[in-house]
Amino acid sequence: MKTALTIAGSDSSGGAGIQADLKTMTLNGVFAESAVTSLTAQNTTGVKSILDATPTFLQDEIDQVFTDIRPDAVKIGMVSSSALIHVIAGRLTFYKAQHIVLDPVMVATSGARLISEDAISTLEKELIPLAEIITPNIPEAEVLSGMEISSQEDMEKAAREIGTHFSCSVLLKGGHHLNDANDLLFQDGTYTWYKGKRIDNPNTHGTGCTLSSAIAANLAKGFSLPDSVKRAKEYISGALAAMLDLGKGSGPMNHAFDLSGEFVLDAEGKAAPEFRISKEHPVASSHTRKPSSAGEPSPAKDADKEGQA
């Protein structure tokens, strides 16, 4: 069985962070392991407090994983301090980790800041260069590229700038009212647009964690990067389309929408309606092209500017 490690923070409400990662990796067919960077006291309405792991303890976690059940892929999420980033970069380099997927988490869905300013600099210098792919949203890409992103063309320019500067692939996620359902993959000078269809679901807590974990799981199973992104998009579309509605704020998705079998049945032998294979969720399509001969990106056609899928 293939394996994947998530290095991220814990979400006490279960919709994001380590909890979302473990659910996603399991439902995407790999054995999931974890190294916790921080404990967060949070729910669907916001983050109340954060308690970081010590660098020594985080190193012990990573060492114990790699020296016993070595992961085939690694997803990195919330890391709030430079000291912890330094540990992660050092241990992943030491173990020659493969298929590193970095979700540069900076702000929670609720708006809470999750990383210090100095940690962003350390992330850029030590961790991003190790990644096979990073998955920033629009605000995170603005920080990493140093440019404002207000159009589809800006997304392509920013993805190219980030990918070229850090020598990694970039999945720039739409959203924030810009190409909401469409994500852009920049890989080896090629732009691939993954077009989604808006799913009218306000419960999007943990979408970034889920997407990056699904990509890591598929890379661990041997799928190419473009196919891993496509499959991850399809999975997250299904999780959103299941329309789970929990909590008083931006609630979690249903990671187990595709779960079936004896062990999800209740005492009456029935499965809850949330545990079903959705035949209705949209499947992400993709369109790949090379940059123009002048070396500048050109707009992808027929971009869907609806909500995030």
Distance CA 147, CA 165 (A): 14
pLDDT at 115: 77
Q: Within a 13 Å sphere around the CA of 239, how many CA atoms are in the beta-carbon half?
A: 30
pLDDT at 302: 37
The neighbour count for residue 122, using CB atoms within 10 Å, is: 20
Q: Are 94 and 122 in contact (CB under 8 A)?
A: no
Taken in order 239, 241, 244, 245, the sign of the CA dihedral is positive
Taken in order 292, 286, 141, 71, the sign of the CA dihedral is negative
- pLDDT above 70: residue 2: yes
93-103 pLDDT per residue, tens: 999 999 999 99
Q: Enter the tokens of residue 304.
A: 């869907």
Give Dmax over CA atoms of the chain in angstroms: 65
pLDDT band at 259 (very low <50, low <70, confident <90, very high): confident
End-to-end CA distance of the chain: 29
pLDDT band at 212 (very low <50, low <70, confident <90, very high): very high
Average pLDDT for 161-165 = 96
% residues pLDDT > 90 (the chain):
68
pLDDT at 107: 66
pLDDT at 69: 98
- Name the one residue in this structure whose structure tokens are 């109340």: 48
pLDDT at 296: 45
Q: Enter the tokens of residue 194.
A: 């993954």
Q: Are 204 and 240 in contact (CB under 8 A)?
A: yes
Domain parsing of the chain, residue ranges: 3-131+200-281
139-155 pLDDT per residue, tens: 899 999 999 999 999 99
pLDDT at 306: 31
Task: Starting at the earlier edge strand, list the strands of the sheet with 133-134.
Answer: 46-52, 31-43, 3-11, 73-76, 100-102, 133-134, 169-172, 183-187, 190-195, 285-289
- Name the one residue in this structure whose structure tokens are 């971009």: 303
- pLDDT above 60: residue 192: yes
pLDDT at 111: 57
The residues carrying an active-site annotation are 173, 204, 206-209
Parallel/antiparallel/unpaired status of strands 133-134 and 183-187: unpaired
Phi-psi region of 41 (alpha: psi -120 to 50; beta: other; left: phi over 0): beta
Q: Within a 13 Å sphere around the CA of 2, how many CA atoms are in the beta-carbon half?
A: 20
Taken in order 19, 206, 169, 25, the sign of the CA dihedral is positive
pLDDT at 270: 76
Q: What are phi and psi of 175, to 5 degrees?
A: 130, -175
Q: What single DSSP character describes residue 15?
A: S
Tell which residue, 101, 82, 106, 78, has the closest CA to residue 168: 101
pLDDT at 18: 97
Answer with the residue of higher pLDDT: 213 or 296. Answer: 213
53-72 pLDDT per residue, tens: 999 999 999 999 999 999 99
Q: Which CATH architecture has domain 3-131+200-281?
A: 3-Layer(aba) Sandwich (3.40)
Least confident of 36-40, 223-227, 265-269: 265-269
Q: Are 114 and 9 in contact (CB under 8 A)?
A: yes
